[in-house]
Structure 1
Amino acid sequence: MNFLARKRQAAPFMTLEGVVGPNQRLDQADAVSVQSPDTLCPLHDGRLLLSSGRQVLALNAWGGEPEFWAAFAAPVTALAQSPGGRVAVGLGAGGLAVLDADGRPVAGWSHPIGQLASVIDLVFRTDDELILVDCGRSDTDDLLSAAAWDDEARGQVVSLRHSGELRVILPGLHYPMGVCLDAKGGLLVSLLERAAIVDETGRVLQAGYPGYAGRLRRHRDGYVLACLSRRDPLVEFLKSEPAFVAEMKATIAPRHWIGPRLDAAFSHDLPIELGATRLYGEVKPWAPSFSYGLLVTLDDALMPTGSAQSRADGRRHAIGDVASWGGSLLATSRASGEILKIGDDL
């Protein structure tokens, strides 16, 4: 028997070259420090909402101080505004709140208690219908490292109406992370580890992106995709070595698994991190690194047209969300704890 024929072939993915060639745009961007930033939501009145742990803050203009908008009993995991001005707030462990633009609760929305593991992203299809993304895990802290080695497809996309009706649109998804409406009002859903975008029927529209696909947003005539890290060749290779992976998961703490990470911090006890040091301890941009900062702009066919990156020697890794606000693209770096102002031309 041919030994190589027995190995599972990893799906090909784009490399960081061409229109997504390496650059330092994220490291060169202006920034505002925010504790535990994750998701962004531009409001119709010109303000920008941003999550900070269990709080939502509002920014009136770039360079200003974020102001308190609302606080919750669980971490804020998603934000979206309806055409009529309502703001939906996804919360840890599948919670949901709907408020007005001033942060006051809106009566009538039924909370789907116990029916969702998470609300990792959401979008209003109309004022009376919310589309929710449930990644399938209630604990999202280790979402990235778990997704690389978890074959179970427990994620789903559901529709929640103001009446309380909950309907599953797309079941059995592998770590869905982002959702947005296309130009015709159809749904586009990004899949984290599969690095793919699917439509409302589950059909794969594009796949093989060079990063772990996070939230997807409309931008100009196309889209912009926030990636939590780049796809690493070593991780992709190990997918063809099930015995090694099984032993790693059974004998080593998850923190030390070979896999993508959110945190850019250097540590000698993490896999291959010693390979990231060179003479005098300097980290080179091309050094091995399981964390990375990557944002990719896409055309209307979901093909890459440009990128902004923070490489191995940078610290603005784990891009959680992106939004177009005030004529510029803004993004959250979960690793550095910052909101980044990138500009509009990638």
Structure 2
Amino acid sequence: MSAVSRLFDRFLGRGDWAVTVPTLDGPLLPNQELEEAESFADLIDADNLVRTEKGMLATSANRLMRFDAGGKAEVLQEFPGEITALAHARGMTALATDGKGVVIRGGLHDGREATGDEARRLSCVTALTFLDSNTLLVANGSASLPASAWRRDLMQKNASGSVWRLDLKSGRLELIRDGLAWPAGIATTGSNRVYVTEAWRHRVLAIDLASKATVPVLEHLPAYPARIAPAFNAGYWLTFYSVRNQLVEFILREETYRKRMLAEIPEAYWMAPSLGSWRDYREPMQGSQLKQMNVLKPYAVTRSYGLVVHCDQNMKPLSSFHSRADGTVHGTISACEVDDDLLVASRGGSRIVRLAKAASGKRG
């Protein structure tokens, strides 16, 4: 794009300078399905749900947990840092701790750890998935910030994320794609293509592992996409940090104000997306976020939201589950199927909810 075109876009408020936000419509039409879902378990900082042969794994800050079908939990292990990503396949569990890289527990490569240069490159792991028994795909959100600083990465307008292929036999680390604006989720397709969410550009990409060609398959999303989990019917469950907000879009384009906010205001009170809201009277709000007659309207503009979208094998949205502005099941950045139920981790709500019969059927 020429400098003249960029100047006109900025003056007219279009293109990259537009502050409009797509509406939640069609398959994304708001409902109360997440808010009304059955509570499966209370879990502070609930995240990283993964189905295994021995039960469902989940994380709570630095703790790796296992849940049985009734929601009873046991702590499997505690780590020195927050667990930021989790994957399981063929008896192996891969997990990443913030700033420490990746470690394998169980199976063929038990004890394999990232060390040295490899660990430094994988210091902000946001998602993991096994390509095969000897290959792990890794999404690294940022080259300069830890995974816990996702809000700062957005408000700094960074785009230093990357996707890597890790050979578990040799330890060789291969760069697949860099220059990404916070890749937060990754999923295999059964072919040479993988799907990767690019949160700050509000889209899902298809990346060819052989040619490394990149094609957007889902764009202009009204929310910030997070992790991708497989669905029984060859589709996917797409989770989200929160919905987009016109005021945040405006602040991202106002350089002076944005830089002052980052420098002078504590992060908890930034006008930025959040995994939970209404915890402190000092949080920022817009007029529509104020309660009227002691009621917060479900359609109010909000910093936090709960959203999980069911997509087909081509990442076309089919249906969705919501917790709206007046709800509490927010920050839904991880989900997984267990038999014919869908379990969703609400990090903002510190619990796991179960959507009974939401999945297509039992997995083999």
TM-score, length basis structure 2: 0.85
Q: Partner letter of residue 53 of structure 1?
A: A
- Superposition pairs of residues 185-200 of structure 1, within 5 angstroms: 185-200=192-207
Aligned 1:45-64 pairs, distance under 5 A: 45-61=53-69, 63-64=70-71
Name stretches of at least 5 consecutive residues in structure 2 with no aligned partner.
1-6, 208-212, 360-364
Distance 1:157 1:30, change over 3 A: same
Deviations along 1:23-65, one digit per CA (max 9) or x if unpaired, are 111111112101221101111x25111112211111121x231
CA contact (8 A) 2:33 2:321 kept: yes
The separation in 1 between residues aligned to 2:68 and 2:161, in whole angstroms, is: 35
Q: What is the letter of the counterpart of residue 81 of structure 2?
A: A
Partner residue, 2:220:
208
Matched, 1:14 2:26: no
Show the counterpart of 2:45. 36
The equivalent of 1:231 in structure 2 is 244
> Tell me, which stretches of 5 or more residues in structure 1 are unaligned?
none
Residues 269, 328 of structure 1: alpha-carbon distance in 2 compared, 3 angstrom cutoff = same
**Which stretch shows the higher mean deviation, 149-158 or 258-267?**
258-267
Select between 22-31 and 184-193 the one with higher mean Cα deviation: 184-193
Show the counterpart of 1:171: 178
For 2:94, the equivalent position in structure 1 comes to 88
Tell me, in whole angstroms, the C-alpha distance in 1 between the residues paired with 2:67 and 2:299.
35
* Aligned twin of 1:338: 351
Query: Partner amino acid for 1:19?
Result: P
Q: Distance in 2 between matches of 1:190 and 1:141?
A: 17
Q: Which stretch shows the higher mean deviation, 202-211 or 10-19? A: 10-19
User: What secondary structure does 1:236 align onto?
Assistant: helix
Equivalent residue for 1:122? 128
Q: Distance in 1 between matches of 2:217 and 2:75?
A: 39
**Which stretches of structure 1, 4 residues or more, deviate above 6 A after TM superposition?**
none
Q: Which whole-Å deviations, capped at 9, do the CAs of 1:216-244 have from their partners, x for residues lacking one?
A: 12212321111010111222233443343
Question: What amino acid is the match of 2:25?
Answer: E
**Partners of 2:283 and 2:111 in 1: CA distance:** 48
What amino acid is the match of 1:235? V
Between the two proteins, the alignment pairs up a number of residues equal to 340
Query: Which position in structure 2 is the counterpart of 1:106?
Result: 110
- Worse overlay, 263-272 or 107-116: 107-116
More helix per residue: 2
Q: 1:13 to 1:71 in 2, by over 3 A?
A: same
Letter in 1 for 2:161: G
Corresponding residue number in structure 1 for 2:267: 254
What is the identity percentage for the equivalent residue pairs of Structure 1 and Structure 2? 25
* Gap change, CA 1:233 and 1:245, over 3 Å in 2: same
Partners in 1 of 2:193 and 2:59 — Cα distance?
26
Indicate how the Cα distance of structure 1 residues 239 and 10 shifts in structure 2: closer, same or farther if over 3 A, else same. Answer: farther
In structure 2, do the counterparts of structure 1 residues 183 and 14 end up closer, same or farther at CA, with 3 Å as the change threshold? farther
CA distance 1:297–1:336, change in 2 (3 Å) = same
